[in-house]
Amino acid sequence: NLKGKRAIVTGSTSGIGLGIARALAASGADIMLNGFGDAGEIDKLKSGMEQAYGVTVGYSAADMAKPDEIVGLVEDAAGLLGGVDILVNNAGIQHTAPVDEFPVERWDSVIAINLSSSFHTIRAALPLMRKGSWGRIINIASAHGLVASVNKAAYVAAKHGLVGLTKVVALEAANDGITCNAICPGWVLTPLVQKQIDARAEASGIPVAEAERNLLGEKQPMHKFTRPEQIGEFSVFLCSDAAATMTGSSYSLDGGWTAQ
Ligand code: NAD
């Protein structure tokens, strides 16, 4: 039961972040949503969650590529909810290209959003967690935080970096009642992955369903997507007392991807 806990979930207007925000709210946590999207849709999301779960839900449009806006997000969350106990670093983007053709400005934005943003949120939120002698930091890395694939230089570098950052924060907060872990999903069917499936279908002139089967078959022994709700439930577990000594680790929900 997370009643009274206050959570920030970055990139929670879609996909995995939204699944995590819903699961935390369903367990009683107050939530600060963040991410891009249509203002009306986001407003509906916010009030829908408040009604369904009886918790307070705020929203910040902070851009996770901008350090000053990230500090603003943490300040806004602390102001609206009265503090910060749970931080889920989930916002992320993808860009695929061979390393020698990788656009420099895409490299910079993938590193900023998928890695540096977590440094900035953690830096701002850790002192607030220490105040209450309790905290949970969950970094959404990836199977690509543990192993590589071609054409994903920035993403793989950022996710490996995030796994490293997770370990350092775990050590530094080890005796403060605060844990820091990474979750490493394999394929989850969200807009981020749908774009890659559509690109494959178009590049090879095959139906989208076939491109989806190929994508799963290439890397993931279990030919089935992990659902955002499942990552949400696992995040709730990481916030529970049962997980109080689980820290500095990476947990794969990847259908066997990294067992190979
Ligand atoms: P998604 O595209 O559905 O959602 C991404 C979210 O991040 C959205 O809410 C978007 O608005 C937000 N976002 C993007 N750029 C932002 C920015 N600059 N500032 C603030 N918010 C921003 O993607 P998803 O698949 O749900 O991905 C979520 C996380 O999970 C990412 O870190 C991704 O790398 C990771 N992940 C996804 C998969 C997968 O298969 N989908 C697998 C492993 C890891």
For residue 182, what is the domain's CATH number? 3.40.50.720
Produce one character per residue of 94-117: b if its CB has 16 or more CB atoms within 10 Å, e if not: bbbeeeeebeeebbeebbbbbbbb
Q: Does residue 260 lie in a domain region?
A: no
User: Does residue 1 belong to any structural domain of this protein?
Assistant: no
Contact (Cβ atoms closer than 8 angstroms) between residue 137 and residue 180: yes
The pLDDT value given to residue 239: 98
Range of the domain at 205: 189-225
Same domain, yes or no: 170 and 236: yes
Q: Is beta strand 30-34 parallel, antiparallel or unpaired with respect to 6-9? A: parallel
Same domain, yes or no, for 108 and 212?
no
- Below-70 pLDDT ranges, the chain: none
CA 129 – ligand 1 centroid, Å: 25
160 part of a folded domain: yes
Same domain (yes/no): 242, 164: yes
On whether the CB atoms of residues 34 and 40 are closer than 8 A, the answer is no
Q: Which two tokens stand for residue 210?
A: 């076939």
Same domain, 134 and 241: yes
Phi-psi region of 82 (alpha: psi -120 to 50; beta: other; left: phi over 0): left
Structure tokens at 183: 């979750």
Give the pLDDT of residue 257. 98
Query: Are β-strands 57-60 and 86-89 bridged in parallel, bridged antiparallel, or unpaired?
Result: unpaired
Query: Does 205 lie in the same domain as 149?
Result: no
Q: Which of 53, 59, 155, 251 is catalytic?
A: 155
The pLDDT value recorded for residue 23 is 98
Closest Cα to atom 31 of ligand 1: 92
Out of 87, 90, 194, mutate this one to test ligand 1's pocket (max ligand atoms within 8 Å of CB): namely 90
- What burial class does residue 80 get, using C-beta atoms within 10 Å of its C-beta: 0-12 exposed, 13-18 middle, 19+ buried? middle
DSSP at 115: I
Residues 197 and 96 reside in one and the same domain: no
Same domain? For 140 and 105 the reply is yes
Query: Residue 139's pLDDT is what?
Result: 99
Count of domains in the chain?
A: 2
- 234-255 burial, b at 16+ Cβ within 10 Å, e below that, comes to bbbebbeeebeeebbbbbbbbb
Say whether 59 is catalytic.
no
In this prediction, residue 75 carries a pLDDT of: 98
Is the Cβ–Cβ distance between 82 and 55 less than 8 Å? no
pLDDT value for 108: 98
Please tell me whether residues 211 and 92 are part of one structural domain: no
Q: Are residues 126 and 57 in the same domain?
A: yes
pLDDT of residue 70: 98
- Residues contacting 143, CB < 8 A, separation 6+: 184, 185, 186, 219, 252, 254, 257, 258
Q: Quick one: 45 and 165 in the same domain? A: yes
The phi, psi pair for 251, rounded to 5°, reads -115, 120
Ligand 1 mean position, distance from CA 205 (Å): 27
Does the residue 258 lie in any domain? Answer: no
Same domain, 160 and 81: yes
ipTM topping 0.95: yes
Ligand 1 pocket, 235 CB below 6 A?
no
